[in-house]
Structure 1
Amino acid sequence: MTSHPHVLSLASGRRTPSPGGGRATAIDKQPVDSFEVREPGPKHGGLGSGVVGDEIGNPRHHGGSLQAVYAYPREDQQFWSERIGRPIRPGGFGENMTTVGVEMTRALVGELWRIGDVVLRVEGPRIPCQTFAAHMGEQRWVKRFTEEGRTGAYLSVVTPGVVHTGAEVVVERPDHDIDVLLVFRAFTGDLAAARRVVAAEAVHPETREELAESLQRRGA
C-alpha cells in the first residue's frame, strides 16, 4: 500500500458538446496511465493545456501557463461524495491529477511539487464556473463549492516531462504564508484577503495585477 504523498490517478479530456447545448467542454476527463506535461505558453494564443493531448473547452478562461495542470486531492473528493450522497470517481472534477496525501487547500503559492523528473509549481485555486456546475448536476453547486473552499490547485510547469500514476509527490514550500485558500477568498469577494495577497507579492504578477485592479475598481 502506497503511504507517501502520491499521484493516485491521471486524466485527460477531449472537447464534447455541453450538456446544456452551449459551448463544447473538455471537463469530462478520462483516465490515463501517464501523460506528458509541457509549458503551454499564454492563455490566449498558446497551446492550451499543459497536458499533451488534453483539450480546453473555453480558452478564454482556462489553460495557459498559470493553469497548465489542474490537481485535486482524493480526500476532498471523498468529502464531497459524502455531502452529495454519491461516488465521485478520480478525475470526476475535471482534474488532470488526483492526489493522495498532498495538502492542497493550504498549499502555498510558489510551492514546488517534484514528481519524478517533472517539477510543477502551485499557482492558485480553481474558480468554479457554470460548466463545472452542469457537469456535477448539483443544485447551488458553485455557491456550495465556493463556501467550502476546497478548490484544488492550478499548477504551472517548471520542468516538463512525463508523469506516471503512482509516482511520489515531493513538496518544497516557500517561506511565506500566502496559500491557495487565501487567494481563492481574494478572488471571491474578500477584500482583506485581496489586500493581503497583493501586498505580499507572492503570486504571479499577472494574478497580482488582476487583484489590484479589482481592489481599485471597488475603491478598496
Structure 2
Amino acid sequence: MHLLSVNLGRATAVDCSDAEGGMTGIGKRPVPGPVRVSAPGPKATGRGSGLAGDAVCDRRHHGGDHQAVYAYAREDLDWWEAELGRALPPGLFGENLTTTGVDLSGAVLGERWRVGPELVLEVSSTRIPCRTFQGVLGEPGWVRRFTRECRPGAYLRVVREGPVSPGDRIEITHRPEHEVTSAFLFRAWTTDRTLLPRVLAAGEALAPDVRETALAYARKHAGHGTVTPGG
C-alpha cells in the first residue's frame, strides 16, 4: 500500500462552481513533494485543505479538519476509465492522494494510517458528489452515476502532521471494529437514509454535522421500525 501521487489544486474560474466567485480547486495536478500536511482548522475560517499549497474554494461544503485530505484509489480510477472510455489522470477527481493497494471505499471511519515517516491520518468522512464535480468532469448525469456505483474514496483528518511524497508507504495502524465504512456512510447519506442510525456506531470518528444528522433521524424514526443506534 503506497501513494502513487500527491496532488494539489489551484483556484480556477469555472461556470459550474457553487463557490462564491465561481472558483474551484477540484482539478488537481501531481507534484513531486514533499508536501506538508497539517490540520487546516474549521471549515469556514481555516485554510481549507490540509495540504500546503492546495486550494479549497467552496468552504460551505468542502475543507476543514474532517475533510482535510481526500484520497482516491488508482484501482477505482482504472475501473472508471474502463466504464467511461477515457483516461483519468491522478487528481482529476479532486483527490489529494492517489493510492494503490488500499480499499478506500471499504476504509472504516476511525481507521488510522501512517503515511511516510511522520504523517498520521484518520478516516473521517465520505465524498458526496456535487455539481462542480460533474461540470469539471464533463459527464452528463455524473452525480447520479457516481452515486449509484458507490466508489466514493475517503476523507481523512490529520492526527499528526508531516510531509508526504509520491511513493510513500501507507500502513494501517488501527482499524475499529464497526461496520461504518466510507461506502456505508455514503449510502446512508445518499440512497438509503434508514442506515443513518447505524452510522452512530462510528462514535467520535464522525464529523459533528454527520453525527447530528444521524441522531436527528434516529430520534424522529424511533419506534417506527427503523434500525436504532448500534442495532
TM-score of the pair, normalised by structure 1 = 0.92
Report whether the alignment pairs 1:166 with 2:162: no
Q: CA deviation at 1:45?
A: 1.0
User: 1:1-20: CA deviations, max 9, x gaps?
Assistant: xxxx1000011011110144
Please give the secondary structure, in 1, of the residue aligned with 2:163: strand
Q: Residue 108 of structure 1 aligns to which amino acid in structure 2?
A: V
Q: CA deviation at 1:139?
A: 1.4
Q: CA deviation at 1:212?
A: 2.3
C-alpha spacing 1:205/1:136, structure 2 compared with 1 (3 Å): closer
User: 1:65-111: CA deviations, max 9, x gaps?
Assistant: 00000000000000001101101001111110000001111110000
C-alpha spacing 1:200/1:174, structure 2 compared with 1 (3 Å): closer
Counterpart in the other structure of 2:123: 122
The runs of 5 or more residues in structure 2 that have no matched partner are 227-231
The runs of 5 or more residues in structure 1 that have no matched partner are none
Report whether the alignment pairs 1:106 with 2:102: no
Counterpart in the other structure of 1:11: 7
Please give the secondary structure, in 1, of the residue aligned with 2:121: strand
User: 1:137-183: CA deviations, max 9, x gaps?
Assistant: 11110011001110010000001010010011001312222111111
Q: Which moved more, 1:135-144 or 1:210-219?
A: 210-219
C-alpha spacing 1:47/1:128, structure 2 compared with 1 (3 Å): same
Partners of 1:154 and 1:16 lie apart in 2 by 22
Report whether the alignment pairs 1:31 with 2:34: no
Q: CA deviation at 1:191?
A: 2.6
C-alpha spacing 1:46/1:217, structure 2 compared with 1 (3 Å): farther
C-alpha spacing 1:20/1:39, structure 2 compared with 1 (3 Å): closer
Partners of 1:130 and 1:162 lie apart in 2 by 32
C-alpha spacing 1:103/1:16, structure 2 compared with 1 (3 Å): same
Q: CA deviation at 1:199?
A: 4.8
- Confirm or deny: 8 A CA contact 1:109 1:202 kept in the other structure: no
Please give the secondary structure, in 1, of the residue aligned with 2:212: helix
Counterpart in the other structure of 2:211: 208
Counterpart in the other structure of 1:70: 70
Counterpart in the other structure of 2:177: 175
Q: CA deviation at 1:209?
A: 1.2
Q: CA deviation at 1:202?
A: 5.6
Report whether the alignment pairs 1:195 with 2:197: yes
- Confirm or deny: 8 A CA contact 2:197 2:217 kept in the other structure: no
Aligned residues: 216
Q: CA deviation at 1:192?
A: 2.7
Q: Residue 195 of structure 2 aligns to which amino acid in structure 1?
A: A
Q: Residue 208 of structure 1 aligns to which amino acid in structure 2?
A: R
Partners of 2:59 and 2:219 lie apart in 1 by 26
Q: Residue 100 of structure 1 aligns to which amino acid in structure 2?
A: T
Identity of aligned residues (%): 45
Report whether the alignment pairs 1:155 with 2:151: no
C-alpha spacing 1:215/1:94, structure 2 compared with 1 (3 Å): same
Over the residues paired in the alignment, what is the CA RMSD in angstroms?
A: 1.8
- Confirm or deny: 8 A CA contact 1:178 1:202 kept in the other structure: no
Partners of 2:5 and 2:91 lie apart in 1 by 8
